[in-house]
Amino acid sequence: MKNARQKEIMEIIRQHTVCNQDSLQELLRERGYPVTQATISRDIRELNLIKKADSNGVYHYILPEAVTPYGDLLTGNVMSADFAGHTVVIKCRSGTAQAVCTVLDEMNRPEVVGTLAGDDTIFALMRTTEQAKRFASELFKIIQGK
């Protein structure tokens, strides 16, 4: 039960802007996980969730994988992220796609089947179209500093 709940928490954080434990608790209840505040607090600690301010100064939870030692590499070099079918297309500054691709590969995302980098473009093959849409959205949030 704990593993399933924590997996659901990660999906919620990827899909929603969650600013506090009450919001997370409500979203979990909607998905069939009636939990206490103490349980949520433990899950947040065990999952190493981080609170980060977006460009408007609003703090919300993010997954630790969204914070890498190479964060500046992503925010400084990724220009856009979009998807088509199962493929996420990531546009980078000229000459930086391979370095950015290495960072993305180090995230070890299970939904990423593989990546391919050229000079300024990366293709990331995802397992489903929904995962491609979500991954492109996450990358967009990272490069926007949200």
Judgement on whether residues 78 and 60 belong to the same structural domain of the protein: no
Last-in-domain residue among 17, 50, 65: 65
pLDDT in single tens digits along all 146 residues of the chain: 888 999 999 999 988 999 999 999 999 999 999 999 999 999 998 888 888 877 777 888 888 766 555 566 787 889 999 999 999 999 999 999 999 998 888 888 889 999 999 999 999 999 999 999 999 988 887 777 64
d(CA 125, CA 119): 18
Query: Would you state the pLDDT for residue 113?
Result: 95
| pLDDT score, position 38 | 94
Looking at the structure, tell me whether residues 89 and 127 fall in a common domain.
Answer: yes
Answer whether 0.85 is exceeded by the pTM: no
Name the residue type at position 77: N
The boundaries of the domain holding residue 53 are 2-65
Per-residue DSSP letter, 93:
S
Give residue 8's pLDDT.
92
Q: Are 122 and 107 in contact (CB under 8 A)?
A: no
Which of helix, strand or coil describes residue 52?
A: strand
CATH number at residue 95: 3.30.1360.40
Q: Which amino acid is at 86?
A: H
Domain count for the chain: 2
Verify that 32 and 74 share a domain, yes or no.
no
